[in-house]
Amino acid sequence: MSEQLTKWSLTSGTVVKHMHYGLRVQVSSGEIGVVDRAEIGDGYVAPADWPAVGSVVTVVGAGYAGLQLRLSTRPSHIEEARTRADKSRSAKGEAQVGGAAGESGLRPS
């Protein structure tokens, strides 16, 4: 089994099918997930306005329901995922800078 997409992870995917409940989207790992019709946009999006089959969309990992990958294409979820990723990168950078100063092995006296 390929690596699972974590919650709030951003990736791109290809719309492979329209279903009555939403979209089936294949992500780069090859896994096919579901974008529920309520997660396509921040408001109601009519099926005629859903991304076309074959189009590449940005998706956010929304976790798993059992073994089923759940995804979102809501702009607000994409923005939230980007904010979380920026904060995570910033925190890692600060930890590396802070860690570099304390790596001498010397204890303060």
Task: Give the tens place of pLDDT for each residue, 32-65.
Answer: 999 999 999 999 999 999 999 999 999 999 999 9
Q: What does pLDDT average to over the chain?
A: 87
pLDDT interval class at 88 (50, 70, 90): confident
Strand partners for 10: 60
CATH 2.40.50.140 fits 10-100, yes or no: yes
Q: What ranges do the domains of the chain cover?
A: 10-100
Strand partners for 68: 65
CB 29 within 8 A of CB 5: yes
